[in-house]
Amino acid sequence: MEAESEHRMTERGAWIPAAAALAGMLLAGCAAAPSRVDPLEPMNRALYEVHDVVDTNVVKPFVQGYVNVIPLPIRRTVSNVFNNIDDLFSAINDALQGKPDKFADDMARVVLNTSFGIGGIFDIATEAGIARGDEDFGQTFGVWGFGQGPYLFVPLFGPTTVRDGTGVILRIAVGPVGYVPDVPVRNALYGVAAIDQRSQLLGTGQLVDTAAIDRYLFIRNAYLQRRRYLVYDGAPPPEPEEE
C-alpha cells in the first residue's frame, strides 16, 4: 500500500504491462530456483541507502507530524476505512487459496463494517471478535507454490520480493482507488493511504535502530520471516538448513 504514493502521477493503465513484466520475472525466478534469498544485495543496499536518507529527512518527519497533529480517533478512522477495503481483498485471496473459513470471516468483517460500521469507519467486526484474515496476492502466489524470487528493496516502499511486489502491483491495478475518476482526489487518497501505512511503522523504526547491528540485514530478515509466517498462516515448517 505504501507504494501507492510513488505512483500517484501514473495512469492506471500503465500498471498492466509493468505487472506483466514482473509476473514474467516471477516465473523466471522460480525456474532458476535461486539458492540465496538476496542475489541483488549490492543493488538493494544502494537503494536502501537512498531510501534511508529520504525517509529519515523527509518522510518520517512528515508522518510524525501527521501523528502529532491529527488526533488518534481520526487516524484510526482513516486506518479502518483502508483496512475495510483490504479485508475485501483478503476475502478474495482467501477464496483464491481455497480457505472457506477465513473467507467467511473476512466477508463477515466487510459486510458488518461496511453496513453497521458506516462504510468501514468503525471496525465493529474486530470488537465482535472476528480477526482480520490479512491475506494478499503475494501470499496467494506463495500458497500456489511460487517461490518468493529475489528480495527487493524499493525506496519509499520498503522491503519486498519479486513475488510479493507483483502482488502489490496487481492489488493497486485492480483498485478500488484507481477507479476514482477525479485525478487529484485519487492522488490524495493514495497519499493518505501511504501516510497511514507509514505511521503504523514509526515505533518499529525506533526498535530497529536500537536492535540492529546492520539495519539492512535486520529489515530484510524480519520481512522474509514475516512473509513466510503469513504464507503458512502462522504455522511455518522449520526453516531448511542453509549450506
Partner 1 sequence: MAAIALAAWRRAALALSAGALLAGAAPALAQEAPDAMVKRVAQEVLAIIRSDPAVQAGNEARIREVLETKLLPNFDFGRMTALAMGKNWRAATPEQQKRLTDEFRGLLVRTYSGALNQYRNETIEYKPLRMNPGDTEVMVRTLVVRASGVPVQIDYGMEKKADAWKCHDVVVAGVSLVTNYRDEFNEQVKSGGVDGLIKTIADRNRGVAAK
Q: Is 121 exposed, middle or buried (0-12, 13-18, 19+ CB in 10 A)?
A: middle
**161/187 with CB nearer partner 1:** 161
With vertex at residue 50, the alpha carbon angle to CA 188 and CA 39, rounded to the nearest 5 degrees, is 110
218 touches partner 1 (CB under 8 A) = yes
207 touches partner 1 (CB under 8 A) = yes
Query: Minimal distance in Å, beta carbon 76 to partner 1?
Result: 7
Query: Minimal distance in Å, beta carbon 153 to partner 1?
Result: 15
229 touches partner 1 (CB under 8 A) = yes
Where does this chain touch partner 1 (CB under 8 A) — which range of 85-93, 151-159, 178-186, 198-206? 198-206
Sole binder of partner 1 in the list 23, 70, 124, 222 (CB under 8 A): 222
**12/228 with CB nearer partner 1:** 228
226 touches partner 1 (CB under 8 A) = yes
33 touches partner 1 (CB under 8 A) = no
Ranges within 43-82 binding partner 1 (CB under 8 A) = 72, 76
Where does this chain touch partner 1 (CB under 8 A) — which range of 114-122, 171-179, 184-192, 213-221? 213-221
Interface with partner 1 by CB under 8 A: which residues? 72, 76, 131-132, 200, 203, 206-207, 209-215, 217-218, 220-222, 225-226, 228-230, 234, 236, 239, 243
